[in-house]
Amino acid sequence: MLAWTIYLSLGTALLLMLLPERREQWARFLALGAALGGLVLSASALFQSAPGSFRTVTRLSWIPTLGIDYHLGADGISLVLVFLTGLAAVAGILFSWNIGHRPREFFALYLALIGGVYGVFLSFDLFLLFVFYEIAIIPKYFLIAIWGSTRREYAAMKLALYSFVGSAMVLVGLVAAFVFAGGQTMSLADLAAHRFPREFQMWAFPLVFVGFAVLAGLWPFHTWAPTGHVAAPTAASMLLAGVVMKLGAYGCLRVAMTLFPEGLQPWGFEWLGIGSWRDVFALLAVTGILYGGMVALVQKDFKFVIGYSSVSHMGFVLLGLMTLQTIGLTGAVLQMFSHGIVAGLLFAVVGRMVYDRVHTRHLDDLQPMNLSRGLPFAAVTFTLATLASIGLPGFSGFVAELQVLIGAWQAYPTLAVLTGAGILVGVAYGLRALQRAFFAERRSCTDGQASGSARGAPAQPPDSPAPLEPISFPERVGSILLIAASLAVGLYPDLLLKYILPSFNAPWFDGLRGGGLP
């Protein structure tokens, strides 16, 4: 049944294209139906699976001469990320209910993207994985270029170019692996079991890892992310930050690290204390955490704050991967889930609840509006989302960061401390955005103090000019869905941990075990 998440999304996308142009409402409900179907399928698959088990969903011979199979399967990691995709897809549709410009095409492309993402998470054949990976890139371009805002053509093109360069690197690595392994198979399990020569792994690993990590926002290849997130329409930003960045991180773990575990081993020499690709990427990850946070701290555009915060948070995922500790890897996967939920929520508030109503995202413009009065629901949602993003206990991000940090203490104590500083930077920019956007005072015309001042205050009515459109029902449902998910995982992390943790016992992680995985 799990394979139907893919077919349902892609099928509905086709169906939407065939729908008459004026049936806008149908398009919305069809898309919502498909997304809900995907969510139900993924949730039931996750919660009915036995922890630690791997399940082949479908395996058909596809191109036998090249040993390529149509192989869909799922372990705990896949299931958790598929579940995240289901949640993000539903929430994204709820938050784009008001799209008035060509909604039919919008939802068709949206579902095509979702279908591709499901496909990547479920593929256990590398050729198939790559096909789905490319399927996911194309709709992104159109979603941003057609429905986007600020410099959308530029952002869409930048995103597409970065993605293609990344995939080209991945492709070279995969083809090389295929050839080196004898050209018989593209199956992940078989290739992972093949012991590639060390010299080969030493160059193939960074190639494939960076290829995927571009999409995960690895510093300094992250620059597509903020511009892309900002330009994209709300639902697309939610998916970009929430799910697409996870594709990159997932690829790093599932492909690069699994196939070429020896690429993580020391080079044999040290330069400035860096002795392996693992050290390099761990350092880049922490740089991303700190740099993303600091840049977010000085942004004037509300959406850029969130965009850079994504770079910072994805740094935790990459750092978790580089710890090579079970606990760090588990934390990385949980952080993928958590960030997917929280980033989606943040973008929903900024893009849909605020921008669509007041038509500005500039923090200096938002400041005098005191939106906590005009949009109390948005203020509460953003407050909770900020707390979750800061990594306050009780929300999913805390458990994930905790595990990543434990792993980091073991592998890189100094980086663990720097990451702690990164958390503080996160607190600073989160509070700043929260206060500026929602809880700022109108200095010139506050009710109490202005009367006493002798200054001739401008005759401005105390309330903002026009009452803002109230928060709609779909927005409320979407917010509650995401907040509930983050809280549930934060308060009872075993909900997901019991599926993620045993997945690392699978045979294809054997190679990593040499590097310290117990």
Partner 1 sequence: MSDLPLITILTLTPLLGGFLVMGLGAGRWPLARWLALACSFVVLALCLVISARFDPAAGVMQFGERHQWIASLAVDYRVGLDGLSLLLVLLTALVTPMAILASWHIERQAQIYHGLVLLLQAGLFGTFTALNFFHWFLFWELSLVPAFFLIRLWGSPARSAAATQFFVYTMVGSVGLLLAFLAMFLATRTFDFLELAKLGREGALVQALADTLGWRDLTVRRLAVVIFGGAFLGFAVKVPLIPFHTWLPATYAEAPTGVTMLLTGLMSKMGVYGFLRILLPLFPEVMRWLTTPLLVLAVLTIVASAGAALAQRDLKRMLAYSSINHLGYCLLGIFAVLNSPGSASGSLTHQSAALSGVLLQLFNHGLTAATLFAFIGFLENRAGGRRGLDDFGGLRKVAPVFCGLMGIAVFSSLGLPGLNGFISEFLIFQGAFPLAPWAASFSLLGLLLTAVFLLRLLQRVFYGPLNEKWVALADLSVGERALVAPPLILMLLIGVYPQPLLAAVNATVIRMLEGGG
Binding site for partner 1 (CB under 8 A): 330, 387, 390, 392-394, 399, 402-403, 405-406, 409-410, 413-414, 416-417, 420-421, 423-424, 427-428, 431, 435, 439-441, 449, 492-494, 497-498, 501
Of the pair 135, 423, the CB lying nearest partner 1 is at 423
- DSSP 3-state assignment of 270? strand
Peptide linkage before 220 cis (omega within 30 of 0): yes
Of the pair 153, 441, the CB lying nearest partner 1 is at 441
What is the C-alpha separation between 119 and 10, in angstroms, rounded? 10
What is the C-alpha separation between 483 and 467, in angstroms, rounded? 27
Q: Minimum distance from CB of 464 to partner 1 (Å)?
A: 18
* Phi–psi pair at 509, nearest 5 degrees: -95, 5
101 CB neighbour count, 10 Å cutoff: 9
Of the pair 373, 513, the CB lying nearest partner 1 is at 373
Q: Minimum distance from CB of 444 to partner 1 (Å)?
A: 14
505 CB neighbour count, 10 Å cutoff: 14
Q: What angle do CA 374, 382, 463 make, to 5 degrees?
A: 15
Half-sphere exposure of 63 (CA within 13 A, CB side): 11
Of the pair 148, 331, the CB lying nearest partner 1 is at 331
Q: Minimum distance from CB of 428 to partner 1 (Å)?
A: 6
In angstroms and rounded to an integer, the radius of gyration of the C-alpha atoms of the chain is 23
433 CB neighbour count, 10 Å cutoff: 24
Q: Minimum distance from CB of 53 to partner 1 (Å)?
A: 17
Q: Minimum distance from CB of 409 to partner 1 (Å)?
A: 5
Q: Minimum distance from CB of 345 to partner 1 (Å)?
A: 17
Residues in the chain: 518
311-334 CB burial, b ≥16 within 10 A, e <16: bbbbbbbbbbbbbbbbbbbbbbbb
Of the pair 160, 423, the CB lying nearest partner 1 is at 423
Q: Minimum distance from CB of 404 to partner 1 (Å)?
A: 10
Of the pair 78, 403, the CB lying nearest partner 1 is at 403
Give the residues across from 484 on adjacent strands: none
Q: Minimum distance from CB of 373 to partner 1 (Å)?
A: 10
Amino acid at 190: D
- In terms of C-beta density within 10 A (0-12 exposed, 13-18 middle, 19 or more buried), how is residue 296 classed? buried
Of the pair 201, 386, the CB lying nearest partner 1 is at 386
Of the pair 155, 390, the CB lying nearest partner 1 is at 390
CB 266 within 8 A of CB 174: no
Of the pair 92, 331, the CB lying nearest partner 1 is at 331
Q: Minimum distance from CB of 495 to partner 1 (Å)?
A: 10
Place of tokens 């991180």: 249
Which residues make Cβ contacts (< 8 Å) with residue 247, sequence separation at least 6? Answer: 117, 120, 121, 133, 136, 212, 215
Of the pair 53, 435, the CB lying nearest partner 1 is at 435
Q: Minimum distance from CB of 436 to partner 1 (Å)?
A: 10
